[in-house]
């Protein structure tokens, strides 16, 4: 089978799912004129107008056969739990030699489905590390991917041309690619993305409980709690799907974190000053290594409740 090695500029890119992620990708490609045409696949015909009006696609609609059949690159941007099924259902519409990727946050079941694709479809798992707490085309922005890391996970159906096309796509939208295997991707996501979310959630549960008989708990909340609990405002359906689709790694990482918190508890109980200082020092060093430039921060709590005005 002939492999059409079109560059991105001559490619038709079809995006399935025009929410925050898919819509933002469409906008970035449309705005920069980086590909021949952007086509958007939506669930309901009524959504097509908003997608075209937002300049997230040149054409949009629900007719998968028409919108996918001529695509050189198909991007699955639907919720992570739906992607595996989508891969199976769209297979008949994909033309031989076309490239398929996705934007799902966890990769094991998706890459597994991509491995099984037939008909010379070139498939590469993808995960741009960016997002917002809000969702939908109304939250989409062409700059969403700027500066973000974009993980690429090769499958049995990955060919050099597919990787090259995606590296070009990632580059033009301002992201940075990193090719990695599925196991280490999913394990890392559980650690750096899901665990911070679960910590935020647990923090809010404690505040809720402690606030029941102490009104000053909520009153004293300031920037530290605000930043640490930001992720608790994330989309629940999305986070539930990310957890469900990566349960093994999430459970393992959660257990690790319980161990570390219990270690902290023992250091307190034993009044082990040296041990506590070492623990805090190592954490600070890891933080400074990870984020040497720190973070632009409020110096007080503008987000604190204003109960006493």
Least Å distance, CB 2 to its own copies, is: 33
By beta-carbon proximity to its own copies, the closer residue of 6 and 152 is 152
Query: Within a 13 Å sphere around the CA of 170, how many CA atoms are in the beta-carbon half?
Result: 26
DSSP characters over 56-71: S-SEEES-HHHHHHT-
Kindly state the tokens that stand for 194: 């899901």
Angstrom distances, CA of residue 221 to CA of 226, 231, 301, 305, 308: 7, 16, 8, 7, 13
By beta-carbon proximity to its own copies, the closer residue of 91 and 141 is 141
Write out the H or E segment, with its range, that includes residue 218: helix 216-219
Kindly state the tokens that stand for 62: 């629900």
By beta-carbon proximity to its own copies, the closer residue of 1 and 295 is 295
Least Å distance, CB 154 to its own copies, is: 14
By beta-carbon proximity to its own copies, the closer residue of 48 and 144 is 144
By beta-carbon proximity to its own copies, the closer residue of 119 and 302 is 302
Least Å distance, CB 245 to its own copies, is: 12
Kindly state the tokens that stand for 179: 């090719």
Least Å distance, CB 101 to its own copies, is: 17
Least Å distance, CB 41 to its own copies, is: 24
By beta-carbon proximity to its own copies, the closer residue of 92 and 138 is 138
By beta-carbon proximity to its own copies, the closer residue of 65 and 289 is 289
Query: Contact, 60 vs 41, CB < 8 A?
Result: yes
CA gap 110, 308 in Å, rounded? 51
Write out the H or E segment, with its range, that includes residue 154: strand 149-154
CA gap 121, 273 in Å, rounded? 60
Least Å distance, CB 253 to its own copies, is: 7
Q: Residue 266 CA to chain centroid, in angstroms?
A: 36
Angle formed by the axes of helices 80-90 and 108-115, nearest 10°: 10
Kindly state the tokens that stand for 70: 């001529």
By beta-carbon proximity to its own copies, the closer residue of 53 and 220 is 220
Other CB atoms within 10 A of residue 253 CB: 20
Least Å distance, CB 218 to its own copies, is: 6
What spatial distance separates the first Cα and last Cα of the chain, rounded to whole Å? 71
Least Å distance, CB 133 to its own copies, is: 7
Write out the H or E segment, with its range, that includes residue 176: strand 176-179
């Amino acid at each position: 089978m002939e492999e059409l090695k079109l560059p991105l500029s001559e490619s038709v890119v079809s995006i399935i799912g025009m929410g925050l992620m898919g819509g933002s990708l469409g906008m970035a490609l449309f705005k920069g004129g980086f590909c021949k045409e952007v086509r958007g696949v939506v669930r309901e015909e009524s959504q097509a107008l908003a997608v075209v009006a937002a300049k997230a696609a040149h054409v949009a609609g629900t007719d998968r056969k028409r919108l996918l059949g001529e695509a050189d690159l198909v991007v699955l941007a639907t919720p992570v739990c739906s992607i595996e099924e989508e891969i199976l259902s769209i297979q008949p519409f994909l033309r031989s030699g076309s490239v398929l990727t996705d934007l799902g946050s966890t990769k094991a079941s998706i890459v597994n489905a991509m491995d099984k694709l037939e008909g010379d479809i070139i498939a590469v798992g993808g995960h741009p590390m960016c997002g917002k707490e809000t969702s939908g085309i109304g939250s989409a922005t062409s700059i969403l991917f700027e500066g973000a890391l974009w993980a690429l996970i090769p499958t049995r159906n990955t060919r050099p041309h597919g990787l090259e096309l995606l590296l070009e796509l990632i580059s033009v939208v301002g992201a940075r690619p990193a090719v990695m295997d599925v196991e280490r991707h999913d394990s890392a996501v559980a650690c750096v993305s899901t665990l911070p979310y679960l910590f935020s959630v647990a923090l809010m549960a404690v505040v809720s409980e402690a606030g029941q008989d102490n009104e000053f708990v909520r009153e004293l909340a300031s920037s530290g709690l605000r930043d640490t609990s930001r992720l608790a405002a994330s989309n629940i359906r999305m986070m539930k799907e990310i957890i469900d689709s990566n349960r093994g790694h999430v459970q393992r990482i959660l257990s690790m974190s319980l161990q570390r918190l219990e270690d902290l508890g023992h250091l307190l109980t034993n009044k082990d000053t040296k041990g506590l200082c070492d623990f805090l020092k190592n954490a600070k060093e890891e933080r400074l290594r990870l984020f040497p430039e720190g973070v632009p921060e409020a110096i007080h709590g503008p987000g604190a409740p204003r109960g006493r005005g």
